[in-house]
């Protein structure tokens, strides 16, 4: 493409500078010079004027400062030799050879205001010569006001444009500059440049006397002419393009030229280069180290959508060239192609401080192994992506502001790469950052927020590393991963999303590591439809929904995360999902810690699960997880709740200090509990009721406030080889038509006794050892004590209980045998059954006070069973 364009483009027109006439035309003086000064030089008394005397004296007695006729010593990148001469020996700070009184008067006595007025009529070369006369003239000739006027006359800038080295231009505030005269310093740095100033070249070359001393300056009418002058060696390649609109010039750059806009105020707004037929700028091989800056570059075809514009751009940067594009405004109204296209091996531009906005296509397109440095640009409101990276393009993109796009913010696809650092990407219509089709970008320290859909979207085998970014306030998920994609999401803050934090679905993978995920409206991490990510070392907290939600056959390895303070379950596993949750801390949730339901499976091992408002773990509706080696404590509604046909293998866990039972099994559930330690519960150890079953094998159940194992309401578990000991109530209690198989259990040192069976209960027992229990109930009965004395209203000792018809007790009241004998002696009483209760007579809830219990403890009612657990209402929020 480059060779075709190079051979087919039209030849350049070269505008050569006109020769300067040797004679001075007195009629063509500067209009600003006062008439009296003209008369002083040329009138009848001119030979006697002090100025004429000084000139004659200097010419006769010594050689004038050898300032050159042109500023050959000035360069575009240094201040050396700009009208300066070697220092002479000073004599008492005065100029030498002041023989003439007029010369002495001019140099020493003439007021500063007058000298400055005279100097204000000099051009820069004469001003430099005047500075060589003496110390006083040197100081006055460096006056910033004089140099500002000269500077603005040549360059138009209202602030000095500094050019300290090749490829570097910047404007400064003169009041804040450390040097006393930035105008002169900038003049020195820019002096050797040529100027494109339409209509001025003819005026300049036809008035040599008016611009005497500027013979070395070159002026051209068109940019093409100036580029031709570079090719023919007329100057070194520094071009100043002055205010104006330059239309349909063929700007093909094949050499390391420097082209800078020159205008007052906001320079780039005043210098506009536009093309309606071809790419506005084309950089070709040989243009390495070229520089274009401080101008507006537009491609504005008449037919916005014609396919023949497909290869046309505002800027086209091709193979083996590395120009610098700086402080430019770039606009493209064509609906195909892109505003900036960088393509080909060896293409490595530096594009910085540019505004690529309001384009009807892609803003910046990097493809075909191109690279480059893109820094501090404003990229906004483009019809397609703000940035496209494709086909092994690998740019470095830093501190860009990419926002309000009408499509995606950044789109990398088809093996595109790139390093994106500290960019602010927000309010784009689709995702802030999209990765597709084997693209593999690295995105670090960026802010990706307020996307109208998601933050980051990785799909169709996309990859990428997203590290230390802030991803927040996006309408959909902060990060989407789908369709066999495998990115690394590491060290990011993902928060306050209007939906979830990270959403992995459709066979997505990925490493989700070390992120802080919080405050999102839906789950912090959602895994579904056969996706299998690695999720580790994250903090997932304070969500308005759940922490981690695994459903629809989701998988994944979820390890060493901290999941806490979420509104719903810390972790949900449902609908055929099989994740592995290992070494996580799941705590302080407002509902359940880990919730398996609707055939949720998986492995839950070596986790700390604690301090939840509901149970630490719930299992229901066909779910069958493996739960092993976890520590589950501090649940306000128990440790583990298995209900509604839940299953599960619950092995080698430590379950303790829960407000209710360590393990609940109810409503036709049938889990297996092996080798668990269930202890120090504030209620019972294991409660099985409402048709619950289960195999309880080789567990240690000890130091619980209520029964070690309570079996009730038509339940039928198997207890085998368990040790149930040191309980503060009974070892095992079976009531309410429940049955059980008890084999090889050891039941010892429990306060109330070892095994208690309510009326009508039949159990199968074999090889159990019930020994050394404290038998506090039987001892209290034998001593004639009220059983309330040993139970208070917090325990439910199993013994015979009665009703008293004389005292009108109800079915909700129970009276122990000793109170019947003592307090209700002679009353009409009735034996009810042998079961769990506390004595209402001793509790003081009957009309007559108990004579055995001492001070009554007021209580509202007698409960015959432990309080049931609260089932999770998580499903109500799906």
- For residue 846, what pLDDT is reported? 87
Cα–Cα distance for residue pair 580/667, rounded to 1 Å? 27
User: What pLDDT digit, counting tens, does each position of 733-768 carry?
Assistant: 999 999 999 999 999 999 999 999 999 999 999 999
- For residue 791, what pLDDT is reported? 85
Cα–Cα distance for residue pair 594/627, rounded to 1 Å? 11
User: How many of the other CB atoms lie within 10 Å of CB of 316?
Assistant: 27
Beta strands 677-679 and 753-757: pairing type? unpaired
Give Cα separations from 329 to 291, 299, 377, 482, 704 (angstroms): 15, 12, 10, 37, 75
Residue 351: which of 292, 303, 403, 409 has the closest Cα?
292
- For residue 861, what pLDDT is reported? 35
User: What pLDDT digit, counting tens, does each position of 299-340 carry?
Assistant: 999 876 555 446 789 999 999 999 999 999 999 998 888 999
- For residue 854, what pLDDT is reported? 63
DSSP characters for 7-69?
HHSPPPP--PPPPPPSS--GGG--TTS-HHHHHHHHSTTGGGSHHHHHHHHHHHHSPPP---S
Work out the average pLDDT over 806-827.
89
Q: What is the mean pLDDT of the chain?
A: 86
Instruction: Check if the beta carbon of residue 692 is closer than 8 Å to that of residue 714.
Output: no
**Which of the four pLDDT bands, split at 50, 70 and 90, describes residue 847?**
confident
Give residue for tokens 């006369």.
133
Residue 458: which of 513, 502, 422 has the closest Cα?
502
72 exposed, middle or buried (CB, 10 Å; 0-12, 13-18, 19+)? exposed
Cα–Cα distance for residue pair 425/450, rounded to 1 Å? 9
User: What pLDDT digit, counting tens, does each position of 556-610 carry?
Assistant: 999 999 999 999 999 999 999 999 999 999 999 999 999 999 999 999 999 999 9
834-859 per-residue burial string, b: 16 or more CB within 10 A, e: under 16: bbbbbbbbbbbbbeeebebbeeeeeb
User: What pLDDT digit, counting tens, does each position of 111-148 carry?
Assistant: 989 999 999 989 988 899 989 988 888 999 999 999 99
- Name which of 51-65, 403-417, 655-669, 772-786 the model is least confident about: 51-65
**Which of the four pLDDT bands, split at 50, 70 and 90, describes residue 506?**
very high
Q: Where are the beta strands (DSSP E) in 289-377?
A: 291-293, 296-299, 315-317, 324-326, 329-332, 338-343, 350-352, 355-357, 362-367, 373-375
**Which of the four pLDDT bands, split at 50, 70 and 90, describes residue 698?**
very high
Cα–Cα distance for residue pair 423/445, rounded to 1 Å? 7
- For residue 597, what pLDDT is reported? 97
Cα–Cα distance for residue pair 98/442, rounded to 1 Å? 73
Instruction: Check if the beta carbon of residue 146 is closer than 8 Å to that of residue 126.
Output: no
- The 3-state DSSP class for residue 431 equals coil
CA gyration radius for the chain?
A: 46
| Residue 615 pLDDT > 70 | yes
What length does the chain have? 878
**Which of the four pLDDT bands, split at 50, 70 and 90, describes residue 795?**
confident
- The 3-state DSSP class for residue 309 equals helix
User: What pLDDT digit, counting tens, does each position of 82-116 carry?
Assistant: 544 334 333 334 444 445 677 777 777 889 899 99
- For residue 210, what pLDDT is reported? 85
Residue 374: which of 382, 365, 383, 384 has the closest Cα?
365
- For residue 878, what pLDDT is reported? 34
Cα–Cα distance for residue pair 393/416, rounded to 1 Å? 5
Best-predicted range by mean pLDDT (694-708, 800-814, 831-845): 694-708
What is the rounded (10 degree) CA torsion for 284, 289, 294, 298? 10
Separation of CA 495 from chain center = 10
User: What pLDDT digit, counting tens, does each position of 255-286 carry?
Assistant: 999 999 999 999 999 999 999 989 999 999 98
Give residue for tokens 């003496």.
134
**Which of the four pLDDT bands, split at 50, 70 and 90, describes residue 809?**
confident
Which residues, listed in sequence order, are joined to residue 260 by a DSSP beta bridge?
240, 293
Work out the average pLDDT over 488-512.
98
Residue 642: which of 659, 660, 617, 661 has the closest Cα?
617
User: How many of the other CB atoms lie within 10 Å of CB of 753?
Assistant: 24
| Residue 73 pLDDT > 50 | no
**Which of the four pLDDT bands, split at 50, 70 and 90, describes residue 209?**
confident
Residue 159: which of 167, 146, 145, 171 has the closest Cα?
171
- For residue 871, what pLDDT is reported? 59
DSSP 8-state class, residue 869: P
Residue percentage of the chain with pLDDT more than 70: 85
Cα–Cα distance for residue pair 864/835, rounded to 1 Å? 8
- For residue 23, what pLDDT is reported? 38
| Residue 632 pLDDT > 70 | yes
Instruction: Check if the beta carbon of residue 819 is closer than 8 Å to that of residue 841.
Output: yes
Work out the average pLDDT over 230-258.
92
Instruction: Check if the beta carbon of residue 704 is closer than 8 Å to that of residue 685.
Output: yes
**Which of the four pLDDT bands, split at 50, 70 and 90, describes residue 233?**
confident
User: What pLDDT digit, counting tens, does each position of 537-562 carry?
Assistant: 999 999 999 999 999 999 999 999 99
DSSP 8-state class, residue 850: P
Work out the average pLDDT over 144-166.
94
Copy the structure tokens of residue 220.
């051209």
DSSP characters for 719-734?
EES-EEES-SSEEEEE
Copy the structure tokens of residue 337.
């192609």
- 344: Cβ contacts below 8 Å, ≥ 6 apart: 318, 319, 320, 368, 369, 370
- For residue 872, what pLDDT is reported? 54
Cα–Cα distance for residue pair 858/370, rounded to 1 Å? 84
- Distance separating the N- and C-terminal Cα atoms of the chain: 57
DSSP 8-state class, residue 281: E
């Amino acid at each position: 493409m480059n060779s075709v364009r190079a051979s087919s483009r039209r030849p350049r027109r070269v505008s050569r500078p006109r020769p300067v006439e040797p004679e001075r035309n007195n009629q063509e003086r500067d209009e600003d010079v006062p008439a009296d000064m003209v008369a002083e030089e040329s009138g009848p008394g001119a030979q006697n004027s002090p100025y004429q005397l000084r000139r004659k004296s200097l010419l006769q007695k010594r050689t004038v400062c050898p300032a050159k006729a042109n500023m050959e010593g000035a360069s575009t990148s240094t201040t050396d030799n700009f009208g300066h001469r070697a220092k002479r020996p000073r004599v008492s700070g005065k100029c030498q050879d002041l023989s003439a009184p007029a010369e002495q008067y001019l140099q020493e006595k003439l007021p500063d205001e007058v000298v400055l007025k005279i100097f204000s009529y000099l051009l820069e070369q004469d001003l430099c010569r005047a500075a060589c006369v003496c110390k006083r003239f040197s100081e006055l000739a460096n006056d910033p006001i004089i140099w500002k006027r000269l500077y603005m006359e040549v360059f138009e800038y209202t602030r000095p444009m500094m050019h300290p080295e090749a490829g570097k231009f910047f404007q400064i505030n003169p009041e804040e500059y450390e040097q006393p005269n930035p105008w002169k310093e900038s003049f020195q740095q820019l002096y050797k440049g040529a100027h494109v100033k339409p209509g001025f070249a003819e005026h300049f070359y036809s008035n040599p006397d008016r611009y005497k001393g500027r013979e070395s300056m070159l002026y051209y009418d068109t940019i093409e002419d100036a580029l031709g002058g570079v090719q023919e060696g007329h100057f070194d390649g520094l071009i100043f393009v002055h205010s104006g609109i330059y239309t349909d010039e063929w700007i093909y750059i094949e050499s390391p030229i420097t082209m800078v806009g020159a205008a007052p105020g906001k320079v780039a707004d005043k210098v506009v280069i536009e093309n309606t037929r071809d790419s506005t700028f084309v950089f070709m091989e040989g243009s390495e180290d070229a520089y274009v800056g401080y101008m507006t570059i537009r491609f504005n075809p008449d037919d916005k959508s014609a396919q023949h514009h497909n290869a046309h751009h505002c800027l086209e940067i091709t193979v083996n060239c590395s120009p610098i594009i700086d402080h430019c405004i770039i606009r493209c109204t064509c609906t195909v192609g892109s505003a900036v296209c960088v393509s080909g091996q060896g293409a490595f531009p530096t594009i910085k401080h540019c505004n690529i906005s309001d384009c009807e296509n892609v803003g910046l397109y990097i493809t075909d192994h191109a690279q480059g440095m893109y820094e501090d640009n404003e990229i906004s409101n483009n019809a397609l992506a703000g940035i496209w990276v494709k086909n092994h393009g690998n740019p470095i993109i830093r501190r860009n502001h990419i926002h309000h796009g009408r499509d995606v913010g950044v789109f990398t696809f088809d093996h595109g790469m790139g390093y994106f650092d500290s960019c602010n990407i927000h309010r784009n219509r689709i995702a802030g950052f999209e990765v597709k089709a084997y693209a593999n970008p690295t995105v670090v320290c960026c802010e990706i927020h307020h996307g109208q859909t998601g933050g980051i979207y990785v799909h169709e085998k996309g990859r990428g590393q997203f590290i230390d970014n802030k991803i927040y306030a996006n309408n959909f998920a902060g990060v989407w991963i789908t369709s066999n994609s495998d990115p690394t999401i590491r060290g990011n803050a993902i928060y306050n999303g209007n939906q979830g934090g990270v959403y992995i679905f459709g066979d997505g993978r990925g490493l989700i590591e070390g992120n802080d995920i919080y405050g999102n409206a839906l789950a912090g991490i959602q895994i579904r439809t056969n996706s299998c990510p690695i999720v580790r070392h994250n903090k997932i907290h304070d969500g308005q929904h759940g922490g981690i939600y695994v459903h629809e056959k989701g998988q994944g390895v979820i390890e060493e995360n901290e999941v806490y303070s979420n509104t719903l379950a810390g972790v949900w596993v449902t609908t055929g999902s099989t994740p592995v949750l290992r070494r996580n801390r799941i705590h302080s949730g407002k509902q359940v810690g880990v919730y398996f339901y609707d055939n949720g499976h998986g492995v839950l091992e070596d986790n700390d699960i604690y301090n939840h408002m509901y149970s630490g773990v719930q299992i229901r509706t066909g779910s069958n997880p493996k739960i092993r080696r976890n520590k589950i404590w501090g649940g306000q509604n128990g440790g583990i709740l298995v209900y509604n046909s839940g299953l599960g293998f619950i092995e080698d866990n430590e379950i303790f200090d829960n407000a209710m039972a360590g393990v609940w099994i109810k409503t036709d559930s049938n889990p297996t509990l092996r080798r668990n330690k269930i202890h120090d519960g504030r209620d019972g150890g294991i409660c099985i009721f409402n048709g619950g079953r289960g195999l309880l094998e080789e567990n240690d159940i000890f130091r619980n406030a209520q029964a070690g194992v309570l079996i009730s309401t038509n339940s039928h578990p198997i207890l085998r080889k368990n040790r149930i000991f040191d309980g503060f109530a009974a070892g095992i209690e079976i009531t309410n038509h429940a049955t059980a198989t008890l084999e090889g259990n050891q039941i010892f040192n429990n306060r109330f006794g070892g095994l208690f069976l309510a009326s009508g209960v039949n159990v199968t027992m074999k090889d159990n050892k019930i020994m050394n229990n404290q038998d506090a109930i039987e001892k209290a009965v034998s001593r004639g004590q009220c059983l309330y004395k040993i139970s208070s209203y917090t325990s439910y000792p199993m013994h015979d209980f009665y009703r008293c018809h004389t005292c009108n007790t109800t079915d909700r009241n129970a009276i122990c045998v000793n109170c019947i004998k003592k307090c209700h002696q002679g009353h009409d009483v009735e034996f009810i059954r042998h079961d769990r209760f506390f004595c209402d007579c001793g509790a003081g809830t009957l009309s007559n006070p108990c004579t055995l219990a001492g001070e009554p403890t007021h209580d509202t009612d007698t409960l015959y069973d432990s309080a049931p657990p609260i089932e999770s209402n998580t499903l109500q929020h799906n």
